[in-house]
Amino acid sequence: MNWKKFFIAFIAAFVFIFIFEWIFHGIVLKETYAALPPGLMRPAEEFMKHFFHWLVLGQLVFVFFFTMIFASFAGGGGAGAGARYGILVALLGFGANLIQFAVHPLTTRVLGFWGIGGLIELAIAGAIIGAIYKPSSHTTT
């Protein structure tokens, strides 16, 4: 494993995912979330004051292992292979979203946006990782 390339890919993907999710969930879906049944989401103030660090930590953990899987098993292939890998992980995540929809009082609108957003997000994140963690970077260990 080329750790230098790995960490560059990890940080680049994390920055993208942090910004994408802020725009997507914090701005685009703000009104959609507000229309969900009361009590299903934490109040904005409570989230910002006491739980925001869990969101950032969760994103760090997710992106670290998302990058780790690609680098340790499939490192190489460039942006295209990374995007394909990201789409497969997004499909896996959407499967989990379908289960969430069945058990939580979410709306089909939320489910649809999560599916489309997740696909775009992880395809791009995968492409970023694939573009940085290229086959030529395997020369060092």
User: Dihedral sign, CA of 79, 82, 86, 88?
Assistant: positive
Instruction: Specify the residue for token string 């970023």.
Output: 128
- Contact criterion met (CB below 8 Å) for 27 and 73: no
Q: Find the binder of other proteins among 11, 16, 79, 138 (CB under 8 A).
A: 138
37-44, Cβ contacts within 8 angstroms, sequence gap of 24 or more: 37/105, 40/104, 40/105, 40/106
Among 19, 23, 96, 116, binds other proteins (CB under 8 A): 96
Residue 75 or 117: the one with the smaller Cβ distance to other proteins is 75
State yes or no: residue 119 binds other proteins (CB under 8 A).
no
Q: Which of residues 60-89 bind other proteins (CB under 8 A)?
A: 60-66, 68-69, 71-77, 81, 84-85, 88-89
Residue 114 found at the interface with other proteins (CB under 8 A): no
Report d(CA 56, CA 76) in Å as an integer.
28
Nearest of 60, 75, 86, 88 to residue 137 by alpha carbon: 75
Chosen residue from 16, 18, 20, 94 binding other proteins by CB under 8 A? 94
Closer CB to other proteins, 12 or 130, in the complex: 130
- Three-state DSSP at 104 gives coil
* Contact residues: other proteins, CB under 8 A: 1, 25, 37, 39-42, 47, 51-55, 57-66, 68-69, 71-77, 81, 84-85, 88-89, 91-99, 101-105, 133, 135, 138, 141
